[in-house]
Amino acid sequence: MGATDALKLEKQRPHDIVDVSKAVPQMQFDMRYFSSHNFVGRRIHGYEQDACLLTEPAAAALKKVEEKLLPMGLTLKAYDCYRPQSAVDDFVHWAADAHAEKMKAEFYPSVPKDRLFEEGYIAAHSGHSRGSTLDITIVPLDSIIPRVTEKTTLANCAAPQSARIPDNSLDFGTAFDCFGLVSHPSYQDIPPQAKANRLLLQSLMTDAGFVPLDTEWWHFTLKNEPYPDTYFDFPVTHFSP
């Protein structure tokens, strides 16, 4: 049985998908699956451009979060937004190849690759494909996203912030997509400032109507998502309304 069997799969982009860069102007975008700086180590299928696409109600909820962050000199940064089912299938195929471990030292240093799905760090049917889920952090307003190339030396994502690959994110105790217990929002053995940052992100996001995930501090799904049963498979591209 394939990963997409028994799903309500829709290949057309629905009318209420928006480009979040237009809906939430001061937000930043560091679209990791369009780049090679991710746990696979190359661009993921289905990401044709560096766009962050979400349903209109999810983008409107983010705008509410943004309105609270801007007066604090902070803004949101997305790492992933809508994720096509073909990208999820790419993750599934990557996971089946035990030798493809190029990025282990950075992204899953303490979890065996064959446990990543079972332990809840990657989903074969992801909320991201329903268009109202995103991976997000908080960054200082007007800060610059550091350039990371394939030549950058890998560093453990759970190391203290100064020893990780540079990111303009506030410290949340780990880098993005750091698969392991330390990324669980409830994990206590992280610096006090990182704990405070997790609380800030989670309270702003839940107040705006998002539901957190218990295995990843960066992952949130809009509670009243408009497509709770539909998994989309149109490519990620910028588009004009």
Ligand X SMILES: C[C@@H](N)C(=O)N[C@H](C)C(=O)O
126 binds, among Zn ion, ligand X, none (CB under 5 to 8 A by kind): ligand X
Under 8 Å CB-to-CB from 156, ≥6 apart: which residues? Answer: 105, 106, 109, 163, 164
Q: Which of 66, 106, 216, 225 is catalytic?
A: 216
Sole binder of Zn ion in the list 37, 113, 164, 219 (CB under 5 A) = 219
Q: Which of residues 14 and 212 has its CB atom nearest to ligand X in the complex?
A: 212
Question: Considering beta carbons, is residue 141 or 212 the nearer one to Zn ion?
Answer: 212
Closest CA to 121 of 101, 91, 152, 141: 91
Please identify, using beta-carbon distances, which residue of 123 and 154 lies nearer to ligand X. 123
Structure-derived torsion over alpha carbons of residues 8, 9, 14, 16, reported in degrees to the nearest 10: 60
Binds ligand X by CB under 6 A, chosen from 3, 100, 123, 141? 123
Lookup: tokens for 180: 């392991």
Q: Cα separations (Å) of 234 from 12, 17, 40, 184?
A: 6, 11, 21, 31
Pick one of 171, 177, 225, 233: the residue that binds ligand X (CB under 6 A): 177
User: Out of ligand X, Zn ion, none, which partner does residue 45 contact, by CB within 5 to 8 A per kind?
Assistant: none
> 75 - beta bridge partners?
139
80 binds ligand X (CB under 6 A): yes
Residue 236 per-residue DSSP state:
B
For ligand X, which is the closer residue by CB, 21 or 221? 221
One-letter amino acid for residue 235 of the chain:
P
- Kindly state whether residue 135 participates in binding ligand X, applying the rule CB under 6 A: yes
Look at residues 161, 130, 84, 143 and name the one whose alpha carbon lies nearest to residue 223: 130
Q: Is 128 in the site for ligand X (CB under 6 A)?
A: yes
Ranges within 202-231 binding ligand X (CB under 6 A): 216, 219
The Cα-based distances of 80 to 61, 149, 199 in angstroms read: 16, 18, 21
Residue 216 known to be catalytic: yes
CB of 73 to ligand X, least distance (A): 27
Least separation in angstroms between residue 88's CB and ligand X is 7
Q: Is 219 known as a binding-site position? A: yes
Q: Choosing among Zn ion, ligand X, none, which partner's interface includes residue 29 (Cβ < 5 to 8 Å by kind)? A: none
Residue (162 or 186) nearer to ligand X, CB = 186
80 is in an annotated binding site: no
Angle of CA points 23, 80, 96, to nearest 5°: 155
Enumerate the known binding-site residues for Zn(2+): 128, 135, 219
| Residues annotated catalytic, as ranges | 216
